[in-house]
Amino acid sequence: MITSRPEIVGTFGVVATTHWLATNAAMSILEKGGNAFDAAAAAGFVHHIVEPDQNGPGGDVPIILWSARHRKLEVICGQGVAPAAATVARMKALGLDVLPGTGHLPAVVPGSFGAWMVLLREHGQLPLREIMTPAITVARDGFLVKPEVAALLRQTGSFIKEYWPSTAAVFLPNGEAPASGSLLRVPAQAESYERILREAEAAGGDRVRQIEAARHAWYQGFVAEAVDRFFRQKVMDTSGEAHAGFLTGQDMAQWSPPIEAPVTLDYDRYTVCKPGPWAQSPVLLQQLALLKGFDIAGMDHCGPDFVHLVQECTKLALADREAFYGDPAFVDVPLDRLLSEGYNAERRKLIGAQASLEMRPGHIEGKGGRIFLRARGSTRSAHAETTVGAEEDGSGVLTWAEFLARTRGDTCHLDIIDRWGNMISATPSGGWMTGSPVVPGLGFCVSARGQMFWLDESHPNGLAPGKRPRTTLTPGLALRDGEPYMAFGTPGGDQQDQWSLHAFLRHVHHGLNLQEAIDAPGFYTEHMPSSFYPREWDPGHLAVESEFPKATLAELDRRGHRLQIYPRWGHYNSMTMATRADGMLRAAASPRRMQCYAIGR
């Protein structure tokens, strides 16, 4: 099979990320003697700069890792929590039935920085300045403006200038959107990182002491103080009104990233490892649990039987996500039952020859909550007559609320394995430039991840003070025959554990190498309530790439799937993967956004 690029093979180290500058930064750290964890943090900091539409320094990151030294799997949760003052009652008193997708109200404690610091403290080797310098250099010298970023800033520019001037000051130099292919410099972000380093190094030469001083500067020092001041001001959001926020410096000071054991599932020779149900991660494990009852290896991985079966299992697992998942520090999520053989044997019986158009969660006595089904296109925006800008093709105008609903950010991803066998997978996200306004004096904004809460106190994912929203971010590791084998993941919101599953299945059952598995035609469904504002669903939806055989597409249509056909590599799947076996390290990255890159030697 001819692939878009070669599968990377080496013995020293491999890196695969969703931006070539992050990949380069990580590899440079490995070359300097750093380990996979140092490299991951360096890549993460660069991602925060060069993909402002996908994440930012004030965002979120879940991390899953294998430490060769400790022979241990860990999850570091960089998903921040809801402010202490954020309650369902207070949100409803503002006239809301769903949290806005932008502004101050959906903000949570920014967790990425704390998670990177804990990773470096517990597992890193190099000094903090070595890790942060690539990001500072890129922020100062500039990075290439992608067509998507240029278009987004051009389309939202009038809104940003009128309502979010602090964002305009950073991302609209000279008051205009930067041109595609130009360089964008963000010196305010570089200065924030430099100030953190100065305060860290003032604590002395000890590496751990510097890391703790950097964390203090962020969560109790100048960063927290700037956030606290700004969130007392009202800013416009997708509710159509301007609101002050609930996030405070005290919320930031009281939070630290938990270190947890992963959730796992045995599948054939593999043990697949994921974060807990504060993320959607166990969805992939339940998909595998459902698929155990079928001969996947005997199916054509581009045929209708494979696509239909995987799709129907996905619908069942996502329905259970909606009913049962939430922060396990607040609710009892019955994962043992959801991943059990008996439960999935019963769920498997629901899969028929035709595509389901229903939302069908399982029943577990005393567990779970109501599923909120908002039909696609049903959300009415406030200030419906207020226009903000033209469509990209000039065909008409949109209300600013409708437009912002389209411009949610997405996510980045990285997978790294070093020569010692350390392995890490991480999914930086949140803090998007269109998610909330830039905090003056810092140059970056704060995660609006709280939009994923429901305004229902009885629901497992209902908003509550100090609670993690059930995020979509879901990095993964897999053991093979008990030994750490694979790091894998992708951006893509609700699609993350769909695209990851397809690549995993094609690799382990059909013998495709990593690049072949990633390049193969993709598909996904939106047959679930979206995790993002305005939280709508599309029953029976099945997006497919046109590279599937025509006979496959015709049969899927006959089975009742509501097809949305993309051109070759036309959807957002930005899968990356890395493996370690037989003395060789391998890596691959998706060609779909023309920026993901794998490297190694």
What is the per-residue pLDDT across 331-357, written as a single tens digit (0 to 9) for each? 999 999 999 999 999 999 999 999 999
When mean pLDDT is compared across 24-28, 39-43, 382-386, 433-437, the lowest value belongs to 382-386
What pLDDT is stored for residue 182 in this prediction?
Answer: 96
Least-confidence region, from 29-33, 85-89, 145-149, 465-469: 145-149
pLDDT at 570 over 80: no
Q: Which amino acid is at 156?
A: T
Q: What pLDDT does 2 receive?
A: 87
CB distance 409 to 149 below 8 Å: no
One-letter amino acid at 485 equals Y
- Whether pLDDT at 216 is above 90: yes
Predicted confidence at residue 410, as pLDDT, reads 76
Mean pLDDT of 503-522: 97
Q: Is the pLDDT of residue 556 over 90?
A: yes
Among 111, 121, 117, 5, CA closest to 60: 111
The pair of structure tokens assigned to 303 is: 């045929």
Q: If residue 235 lies in a helix (H) or strand (E), which one and from where to where?
A: strand 235-236
CA distance 176 to 34: 40
Give the integer Cα–Cα distance in Å for 157 and 167: 10
pLDDT of amino acid 535: 86
Over 27-38, what HEC string results?
HHHHHCCCCHHH
Q: Tokens for 554?
A: 């015709």
The DSSP code sequence of 369-400 is -PPP-EETT-PPPSSTT-EEEE-TTSS-EEEH
Averaged pLDDT for residues 38-46: 98
Centroid of chain to Cα 267: 24
Helices 282-291, 496-510: axis angle to 10 degrees equals 40
Whether 26 contacts 416, CB under 8 Å: yes
Query: Phi then psi for 199, rounded to 5 degrees?
Result: -70, -35
| Listed range (418-432, 469-483, 524-538, 547-561) with the worst mean pLDDT | 524-538
CB 34 within 8 A of CB 27: no
CA separation for the pair 97, 445 (Å, rounded): 25
Cβ-defined contacts of 551-556 (< 8 Å, 24+): 551/304, 552/302, 552/303, 552/304, 552/307, 555/304, 556/304, 556/307, 556/308, 556/355
Q: What is the pLDDT of residue 401?
A: 54
CA 75, CA 212: separation in Å to the nearest integer?
A: 20
Dihedral pair phi/psi, residue 328, rounded to 5°: -70, -10
User: Length of the chain in residues, anyone?
Assistant: 601
Neighbours of 587 (CB within 10 A): 29
- In this predicted structure, what is the pLDDT of residue 296? 97
My answer on whether omega of the bond before 534 falls inside 30° of 0, hence cis, is: yes
Q: Which helix (H) or strand (E) holds 117?
A: helix 112-123
- Beta strand 423-426 with 72-78 is unpaired
Residue 403 vs residue 82, higher pLDDT: 82
Q: What is the pLDDT of residue 384?
A: 43
pLDDT of residue 398: 52
**pLDDT at residue 409, as a whole number:** 62
- Backbone φ and ψ of 127, nearest 5°: -65, 155
pLDDT higher than threshold 70 for residue 171: yes
- 523-524 and 397-399 strand pairing: unpaired
Residues 351-405 have pLDDT tens digits of 999 999 999 999 999 999 998 888 887 776 544 444 544 444 444 455 555 555 5
**Is there a contact between 324 and 333 (Cβ–Cβ < 8 Å)?**
yes
Note the pLDDT of residue 407. 56
CA atoms of 229 and 223, how far apart (whole Å): 10
Is 180 in a helix, a strand, or coil? coil
Q: How confident is the model at residue 421 (pLDDT cuts 50, 70, 90)?
A: very high
Residue 108 has pLDDT above 80, yes or no: yes
Rama region for 58: left / alpha / beta (φ>0; ψ in -120 to 50; rest): alpha
Q: What is the pLDDT of residue 385?
A: 45
CB 478 within 8 A of CB 272: yes
Give the per-residue pLDDT at 338: 98
- Under 8 Å between Cβ of 367 and 324: yes
Q: Specify the range with the lowest mean pLDDT, choosing from 180-194, 387-401, 450-464, 556-570.
A: 387-401
Residue 44 has pLDDT above 90, yes or no: yes
pLDDT at 376: 82
Evaluate if residue 473 carries a pLDDT over 70. Answer: yes
pLDDT level of residue 480 (50, 70, 90 thresholds)? very high
pLDDT in tens, 269-289: 999 999 999 999 999 999 999
Task: List, in sequence order, every beta strand (DSSP E) within 315-418.
Answer: 374-375, 387-390, 397-399, 414-418
Q: Residue 61 is inside which H or E element, if any?
A: strand 61-67
Spatial distance between the Cα atoms of 576 and 581, rounded to a whole number of angstroms: 17
Grade residue 239 by pLDDT with cuts at 50, 70 and 90: confident
> pTM for the whole thing?
0.95
Average model confidence (pLDDT) across the chain: 93
Is the pLDDT confidence value at 306 over 70?
yes
Q: Nearest Cα to 15, choosing from 479, 275, 35, 5?
A: 35
CA 221 vs CA 136, 226, 439: distances in Å = 20, 9, 15
Lowest mean pLDDT, pick from 279-293, 404-418, 575-589: 404-418
Count of Cβ atoms closer than 10 Å to residue 89 Cβ: 9
